[in-house]
Amino acid sequence: MGEKFPEIEGGGSLILAWQVRNKRVLVVGGGEVAAGRILNLLNADANVLVISPRDGLNPEVAYRIEQKQVDYIDRVFEPTDLDDPNITMVLTAVDDPEASTQIWKLCKEKRIAANIADVPPECDFYFGSMHRDGPLQIMVSTNGNGPKLANIVRRRIAANLPPNIGDAIKKVGALRRKLRGVAPGIEEGPKRMQWMSKVCLAWSLEDLCDMEEQDMEKLLESYAPNVIPSLEQVRLGEEPGVWQFDGSFGWY
């Protein structure tokens, strides 16, 4: 067997994009950590329930409640709060270790995914340091070893990204949707994926960001012959690989 395969490196996490849109998520606590968790959940379009005494609310959490961006119960957590069958995730951010561990155990009994802030052994998942630019999300995780270091690494990565990369990604998404309209068949799936990959490799991020609606329509005409014209060729109406005389001469 001459093939070489990746070596297994244990100790990591399976990093996923967890879709919680319109799903019920319970946040226990109302302090600064809870505020960050709530913002992450609302950005993911979750249906958030906050349980915390009002005198323990962070100003940001109080604002979310006042604006009715979350549902709110003004008291400490009670075990019966987990009887709601719609709860799919629980996040705790309280300063009471015993109460947090009790919630963790209850979640395990009910098979509900939970994150107990600052207690890695009592977490089904971790929150990493997140960079967001429109549809682009980049998460850096240290698997609970160094949250502050994750933040430093995330900032360094973000500093090296083009400032318009979010717009470029939005336009690629629009092009993909248009392509499905041009070639909707299931059998076209592999070709669609390959063609889109070629576009992303052939065009620069700047080209993708500059791409307009009419450019997309012209570019899609190249799907059937399975070629990738440049943005300049698209705008000039040229075919890929075809030289066109521009009136200049290469000799003297």
Which residues are the active-site residues? Answer: 118
223: three-class secondary structure by DSSP: coil
Find all residues with CB under 8 Å of 223, minimum gap 6, and list them: 179, 182, 183, 195
H or E stretch at 72: strand 71-73
Q: Produce one character per residue of 148-175: b if its CB has 16 or more CB atoms within 10 Å, e if not.
A: eebeeebeeebeeeeeebbbbbbbbeeb
Q: What is the DSSP string of 87-124?
A: EEEEEE--S-HHHHHHHHHHHHHTT-EEEETT-GGGBS
By the 8 A CB rule, do 73 and 49 touch? yes
Two tokens, residue 186: 């299931």
Is 150 in contact with 140 (CB distance < 8 Å)?
yes
Neighbours of 89 (CB within 10 A): 21
CB 231 within 8 A of CB 210: yes
> In terms of C-beta density within 10 A (0-12 exposed, 13-18 middle, 19 or more buried), how is residue 225 classed?
exposed
